[in-house]
Amino acid sequence: MDNMTLNLKVWRQKDASSSGKMVDYKLDAVSQHMSFLEMLDVLNEKLIKDGEDPVEFDNDCREGICGTCSLVINGVAHGPWNGTATCQLHMREYKHGDTIAIEPWRAAAFPIIKDLVVDRSAMDRIMQAGGYVSMNAGGAPDANGLPIAKHFAEDAMDAASCIGCGACIASCPNASASLFTAAKISQLALLPQGAPERQRRALAMVEQMDAEGFGDCSNHAECEATCPKEISISHIARMKREYFKAALISKV
């Protein structure tokens, strides 16, 4: 069946100061060839036609690159497909008559702005606390231009693939930002360009993460399971080592 009817349960909330609730919608003629966001576009077209407010949700590239398409779908950040952002999820995953619950990210540090849109600027402030590298890195060098061991380069690339979507935080029972922060710290800690600010960066970013009200990591590994880029939790261990070493050095 190319077209199907779906029962949607969508979180609706007028603004940050209002209380929200799940609202039921029945959506007909949903093509299995649509992406999940295209399905939401069709829902909004129907709501506008019926004189109702459309559902607010974040999206941009729709190519799994930017991470703004942040939704909890049937209790899972970004939906049921591993290594996939919401915008890459397609409706062929569902069948006629299915019920789909759609919610925003849930974390104290992610206040809801409206409907499915949350304020993720806390993650920006963690990034800003990390600052920049002080050396002039210049243009992109040849792949073999710097003597970096292969396993360090691969780990750095794994960390650098983080798109900052916040799925790790939304899926963590402690609402921890450890995987996100660890990826940003680990990415530069593994490369010579990041060496000059290595200690300052680790201290500043971890302390900013704590100041934003995120929880601590307790090794549930939900973050790794729902990360659309499948970033390893081994970076969290590296972040903790970087932080403890920096804390010790700063006291000497």
Show which of 45, 79, 113 is a domain's final residue. 113
Question: The CATH number of the domain where 142 resides is what?
Answer: 1.10.1060.10
Same domain, 222 and 196: yes
Consecutive sets of 10 residues in the chain, 252 residues long: mean pLDDT of each?
A: 91 94 96 96 97 96 93 97 96 96 95 97 96 72 74 92 96 96 94 89 96 94 96 96 92 60
Same domain, 244 and 129: yes
Q: Alpha-carbon distance 150 to 193, whole Å?
A: 16
Same domain, 205 and 128: yes
**What pLDDT sits at residue 211?**
96
Token look-up 């409706």 returns 91
Show which of 80, 113, 146 is a domain's final residue. 113
CB-neighbour burial class of residue 9 (10 A; exposed 0-12, middle 13-18, buried 19+): middle
Number of independent structural domains in the chain: 2
Please choose, from the candidates 241, 174, 165, 243, the residue with its C-alpha nearest in 3D space to the C-alpha of residue 208. 243
Q: Identify whether the C-beta of residue 142 lies closer than 8 Å to the C-beta of residue 207.
A: no
Q: What token pair was written down for 247?
A: 């804390």
| Residue-wise burial string across 56-87, b where 16 or more C-beta atoms lie within 10 A, e elsewhere | bbbbeebebebbbbbbbbeebbbbebeebbbb
Same domain, 106 and 132: no
Q: In what helix (H) or strand (E) does residue 184 lie, and over which residues does it extend? A: helix 178-189
- Could you list the residue range(s) of the whole structural domain that residue 207 is in? 120-251
**What pLDDT sits at residue 137?**
65
Q: What token pair was written down for 47?
A: 């709501």
**What pLDDT sits at residue 135?**
67
Same domain, 105 and 125: no
Same domain, 168 and 184: yes
Same domain, 149 and 235: yes
